[in-house]
Structure 1
Amino acid sequence: MPTVLIVDDAKFLRKTLKKIFEHAGFEVVGEAANGREAISLFRELMPDIVTMDITMPELNGIEAVKMIKQEYPDAKIIMCSAMGQQRMVVEAIEAGAKDFIVKPFDEVRVLEAVKHVLQ
């Protein structure tokens, strides 16, 4: 069963993603509210997949992706963005993210991205 770390500063969005993942048979091993927490939880939990919000306090998603990929080049990270953040999504992909999903989350699209990243 693949493990997931959900990173978003909005608790209700973490809840939404958690429901989608658990419904699809994934194990959510951790949740983080900012990039700093994401990095330390990644090191501790070594999840199969990370969903990473782009805009967060303390350390944004792009910086967190760069730092995680530097230490763990094989990390599989999916960016979560709001509509209209295309430029930041491109930056995140260049930083090493494997795919992206747009808010509000569509269950089918979320699971497609995960399947794509796990292949």
Structure 2
Amino acid sequence: MPFQWTGNARNRAEQDISASELTVLIVDDDRFFREMAAALLDGQGLVVVGDAADGAAGIEQACRLRPDVVLLDIQLPDLSGFEVCRILVDAGLQVVLCSAREASAYGPLVARSGARGFISKTVLSPQELTRIIES
């Protein structure tokens, strides 16, 4: 069972979320990163609505929650983040890939993934994620 962050995560159907707030789903196999990213992103115009620890759970959560953006780790234990990205983009969802590595480590795969962009885990911030989504 994937880790379920229980902080301030909200679901649009259950809470009154402003139309100006972007909802985010975090998909990453590192529980500490999911918790840290959720704490960092929740607020300042972003609402973390859930998380998942692997690609299959990420796909299920994304299709169920329909967040505005999925923050998706490239290195997952069951599926490649690039595989998950293609599935989510084909389902009409926006994806921002993330990794502890720099985008250049993946060569042309990031550019061909269909993702809105890439963000290194070392520079993750609400402002940077919002900038990528709005560009």
TM-score w.r.t. length of structure 1: 0.84
d(CA) in 2 for partners of 1:106 and 1:69?
A: 21
Structure 2: segments with no counterpart, 5+ residues: 1-20
- Pair 1:105–1:80, CA change in 2 (3 A): same
- Pair 1:103–1:50, CA change in 2 (3 A): same
Amino acid at match of 1:13: F
Report the structure, 1 or 2, having the larger helix content. Answer: 1
d(CA) in 2 for partners of 1:21 and 1:95?
A: 24
Cα displacement string for residues 24-68 of structure 1 (whole angstroms, at most 9, x for unaligned residues): 242111101111111111110000011000001111211000111
Runs of 4+ displaced beyond 4 Å: none
Query: Does the CA contact (< 8 Å) of 1:81 and 1:89 recur in 2?
Result: no
Identical pairs, percent:
31
- SS of aligned partner of 1:50: strand
- Equivalent residue for 1:59, pick from 54, 57, 79: 79
- The equivalent of 1:101 in structure 2 is 119
TM-score w.r.t. length of structure 2: 0.75
Q: How many equivalent residue pairs? A: 115
- SS of aligned partner of 1:28: strand
d(CA) in 2 for partners of 1:90 and 1:62?
A: 11
d(CA) in 2 for partners of 1:116 and 1:101?
A: 8
- Pair 1:106–1:49, CA change in 2 (3 A): closer
Cα displacement string for residues 43-96 of structure 1 (whole angstroms, at most 9, x for unaligned residues): 100000110000011112110001111222xx2211111225524263133121
- The equivalent of 1:2 in structure 2 is 22
**More moved, 75-84 vs 50-59:** 75-84
- The equivalent of 1:13 in structure 2 is 33
d(CA) in 1 for partners of 2:107 and 2:23?
A: 23
Matched, 1:78 2:96: yes
d(CA) in 1 for partners of 2:27 and 2:33?
A: 9
Structure 1: segments with no counterpart, 5+ residues: none
